[in-house]
Amino acid sequence: MKREPRRPGRAGSAEPDLSLDRDLTTRILTGFIRSEVLRTGRSRVVLGLSGGIDSAVAAYLAAKALGPQGVIAALLPYRTSSPDSLRDAERVIGALGIVGERIDITPVVDGFAAAAGRVGRLRLGNVMARVRMTVLYDRSEHHHALVLGTSNKTEILLGYGTLWGDLASAINPLGDLYKTQVRELAAHLRVPASIRRKPPSADLWPSQADETDLGFSYDRVDRLLALLVDSRLSPDACVAAGFEPELVARVGRLVVRSQFKRRLPVIAKVSTRTVGWDFRYPRDWKS
Amino acid sequence: MGPGEGCAMRDARVALAQIEPKLGDLEANLDLHASAVRDARRAGAGLVVFPELSMTGYLLRDQVPEVALRPGSRELARLARLSRGIDVVAGFVEETPRHLYHNAVAYLSEGRVVHVHRKVYVPTYGLFEEGRDFASGDTLRSFDTRFGRAGVLVCEDCWHPSCAWILAQQGMDVLIVASSGPTRGARPGVGITSVAVWRDLLRATARFQTCFAVYVNRVGYEDGLNFGGGSLAVDPFGRVVASVPALEPALGIATLEAEVLRRARLSYPLLRDENLDLVHREVERIRRLRYDLPGAGKEGGTAAGRGGRDR
């Protein structure tokens, strides 16, 4: 077994541990996809392939889990989408031999904008994300498949995604992996370098970049989140570990404020047994 | 004659049935048990061990009463019938006549229920919610089998060293631990972290109690939880005598040699030297202090500080 050298920890210091056994993690995630899909009586997944690293890794894992014919990759460009994104998505389809479909969402989004009146950039981005979700769920019904989620743990914790849009899926193999861990897995799975090396972007408007939007790098915030969330360090301890107090406070606020995106709608309890409270069944109930 | 002194341990060939139970489906799981028992018999095993809640799956929540078995139930009878010519250890939900539900494990032999262990420590923290659904067991008993004296624990029980210790003090030769342990990822140089942790735990437990320890963990997924497997058998020197690869369903075979137990207890006469009376006195003193019971007094210091031995 390979053993990675570890820096000896200073007394009282806190080192975030984002290391992964890539082989075993891949096995756990492909097993997850296989198990959670097959138990529903379906054998395929549909995912939106954006040309970015997250959906590429999800596609590689799904192809390993279900075989190339078990993966339907939907390319869902809007008229402003970067041509590089489409090229990279097509590269993934070609490399894996998975099924590709292209549906231009421009008429739907522009039709909505025409009907709804002035919609700013951010709201239009949300509309695009939700139109893509609508298309994916429809295609999943057509193909008798499940929608495969591609949101990573960093996005989910920070709330950096659209509720009922890109955050929506039936199963998500990446939701417990930080962005930097997705990158590590991408290298292991031999995702094309052009996809691994470009700056992360939701591509909702030209030249959008995640790290500019967020104001910090994934490398930095993932290390902080690993301490705050996984190791349950106090914010003060994170500052003592070398993170700027402003960053610690801001990330803490983002996580709290986006909690609604990680939960189903709250239901007012007026009966003896309420969904979500005391009507408790697993999602995999009787399957 | 003390407990367990009536029969010495005999060599045992044990099958570790690392299965993937189907959540909430007794019929499907009975078939799964029957098939693994057949395989174990074919491999010459005299005992086959299944994981925690092997008859029902783990993440039951409100399904607990639906899949619970009462003594004399049809499913329990069918399970018991599998134990002809081979002993069977299987996990199930037990409903008592007072309608308490237990996370239980049965030791079955020649069609009869020899012993039932009710999980004592039902974890209710982190991802675990067992305390919402299960009553805690309140007994820890070793019992005689045709291989010697055995004791059964369920998963979390094994994290409380007192459980294995109490069973060992009743003459346990073979500790059986049935588990549904979820993984928490895999690290370089460690592998699946929970599998590595359990290996350490089993090796330490077997050495401390100078007994064989057989650990069977399930595999598969429920709501994204992944159960890692990594079942293993350890001898009283802490050496792994059989292990099953992680993540996949498989049947492992372990041979537990009575002669190894004899030599371990010769080399490490821990059981001989255990001072039950000391433990009893100290536990009783701590109990009085903790619960502020009569007789707690102002004790708590060293025996010397209190002017010598208890009177």
Residue B145's domain is classified under what CATH number?
3.60.110.10
Q: Say if B220 falls within a structural domain.
A: yes
Beta strand pairing status for B47-49 and B87-95?
parallel
- State the span(s) of chain A assigned CATH 1.10.10.1510: 216-281
Q: By the CB < 8 Å criterion, does B247 face chain A?
A: yes
Token pair, residue A287, equals: 């399957």
Cα A12 to chain center, whole Å? Answer: 33
B210 plus B257 within the same structural domain: yes
Nearest to B134 by CA among B72, B180, B83, B82: B180
- Give B99→chain A minimum CA distance, Å: 19
List of long-range contacts for A198-201, beta carbons under 8 Å, 24+ apart: A198/A84, A198/A88, A200/A52, A200/A53, A201/A52, A201/A82
Q: Are residues B131 and B223 in the same domain?
A: yes
DSSP element (H, E) containing A236: helix A235-240
Of A24, A171, A281, the CB nearest to B191: A24
A120-128: long-range contacts (C-beta < 8 A, 24 or more apart)? A121/A204, A121/A205, A124/A204, A124/A205, A125/A162, A125/A202, A125/A204, A125/A205, A126/A162, A126/A165, A128/A78, A128/A165, A128/A204
Burial class (CB in 10 A: 0-12, 13-18, 19+), A192: middle
Question: Are B63 and A19 an interchain contact pair (Cβ–Cβ within 8 Å)?
Answer: no
User: Is the same domain home to B253 and B145?
Assistant: yes
Residue type, A53: I
- Would you state the structure tokens that stand for residue B205, as one six-digit string? 């437990």
| B204 is a domain residue | yes
| B257 inside domain | yes
Is residue B225 less than 8 Å (CB to CB) from chain A? no
B297 pLDDT tier (thresholds 50, 70, 90): low
Q: How far apart are CA B76 and CA B290, in angstroms?
A: 41
Whether domain A22-203 has CATH 3.40.50.620: yes
Per-residue pLDDT, A1 = 43
Question: Which residues of A fall within a CB distance of 8 Å from B21?
Answer: none
Chain-chain contact of B187 with A31 (C-beta, under 8 angstroms): no
Measured between alpha carbons, how far is B63 from B257 in angstroms, rounded to an integer? 41
Interface list for chain A against chain B, based on CB atoms closer than 8 Å: 1-4, 17, 19-21, 23-25, 27-28, 31-32, 35-36, 171, 176, 279-287
8 Å CB contact of B187 and A35: no
pLDDT at B166: 98
Contacts of A283 in chain B (CB under 8 A): 223
Is residue A92 within 8 A of residue A191, CB to CB? The reply is yes
Do B300 and B186 belong to one domain? no
Confidence of residue A208 (pLDDT cuts 50, 70, 90): confident
The stretches of B56-192 forming alpha helices (DSSP H) are 64-67, 74-81, 130-133, 161-169
Contact residues on chain A for B185, CB-CB shorter than 8 A: 20, 25, 28, 176
Residue B158 lies in a domain: yes
Confidence class for position A203, pLDDT limits 50, 70, 90: confident
pLDDT band at A7 (very low <50, low <70, confident <90, very high): very low
pLDDT at position A132 is 98
- Distance, CA of B54 to CA of B50 (rounded, Å): 6
Question: Are A284 and B61 inside 8 Å of each other by CB?
Answer: no
pLDDT band for position B2 (cuts 50, 70, 90): low
How confident is the prediction for chain A on average, in pLDDT? 93
In the block, tokens 């059986």 appear at B176
Sort strands B12-18 and B47-49 into parallel, antiparallel or unpaired: parallel
Structure tokens at B137: 């067991």
B1, part of any domain: no
Count of alpha carbons within 13 angstroms of residue B18, beta-carbon side: 27
Best interface-test mutation with A: which of B67, B187, B193, B194 has the largest number of A CBs within 10 A?
A: B187
Termini Cα distance of chain A: 36
CB distance A28–B62 less than 8 Å? no
CA distance A70 to A67: 5
Contact at 8 Å (CB) between B122 and B136?
yes
- Per-residue pLDDT, averaged over A194-200, amounts to 93
**In-domain check, residue B2:** no
Query: Is A13's pLDDT higher than 90?
Result: no
A8 pLDDT higher than 50: no
Cα-only R_g, chain B: 20
Q: Convert the pLDDT of each residue in B163-184 to its tens digit.
A: 999 999 999 999 999 999 999 9
Mutate to test the interface with B, among A3, A32, A284 (most CBs of B within 10 A): A284
Other CB atoms within 10 Å distance of the CB of residue A118: 7
**Cα–Cα distance for residue pair A171/A6, rounded to 1 Å:** 34
Supply the range of the domain harboring residue B296.
Answer: 275-311
Query: Is the pLDDT at B3 greater than 60, yes or no?
Result: no
DSSP A52-121: SHHHHHHHHHHHHHH-GGGEEEEE---TTS-HHHHHHHHHHHHHHT-EEEE---HHHHHHHHHHH----H
Which residues of chain B neighbour A20 with C-beta distances below 8 Å? 185-188
Q: Which amino acid is at B159?
A: W
B114 torsion bin: left (phi>0), alpha (psi -120 to 50), beta (else)? alpha
Chain A residues inside the 8 Å CB shell of B132: 280
> Which neighbouring-strand residues pair with B256?
B12
Same domain, B140 and B280: no
Query: Are residues A284 and B59, on separate chains, in Cβ contact within 8 Å?
Result: yes
- Whether the per-residue pLDDT at B77 is higher than 80: the answer is yes
Structure token pair of residue A208: 């959008």
Q: How far is B223 from chain A (nearest CA, A)?
A: 6
Partner residue opposite B23 with nearest CB, options A176, A280, A282: A282
Best of A61, A280, A283, A286 to substitute, by most chain B Cβ atoms within 10 angstroms, is A280
Average pLDDT, chain B: 94
Fold classification of A216-281 is Arc Repressor Mutant, subunit A (1.10.10)
Decide if pLDDT at A2 tops 50: no
| B187 touching chain A per CB within 8 A | yes
CB contact under 8 A, A32 and B221: yes
- Mutate which of B222, B227, B247 to disrupt the A interface (most A C-beta within 10 Å)? B222
Show residues of chain B in contact with A31, CB under 8 Å: 221, 226, 247
- C-alpha to C-alpha distance for A106 and B99, rounded to whole angstroms: 60
Q: What is the CA A128 to chain-centroid distance, rounded?
A: 16
User: What part of B 109-138 touches A (C-beta under 8 Å)?
Assistant: 132
> What is the per-residue pLDDT across B92-135, written as a single tens digit (0 to 9) for each?
999 999 999 999 999 999 999 999 999 999 999 999 999 999 99
Block residue for tokens 């756990």: A28
Residue keyed to tokens 């137990």: B261
Q: What values do phi and psi take at A74, rounded to 5?
A: -100, 125
**Average pLDDT of span A274-285:** 94
Within a domain: B175 = yes
Do B193 and B296 fall into the same domain?
Answer: no
Q: What number is the average pLDDT over the span B228-244?
A: 98
Mean pLDDT along residues B47-60: 98
Shared domain for B185 and B124, answered yes or no, is yes
Beta-carbon count within 10 A of A226 CB: 20
Q: For residue B299, is pLDDT > 80?
A: no
Same domain, B50 and B197: yes
- Is residue B259 domain-shared with residue B282, that is, in the same domain? no
Domain count, chain B: 2
ipTM of the complex: 0.91
Chain A residues touching B187 at Cβ < 8 A? 17, 19-21
Residue B3, domain member (yes or no)? no
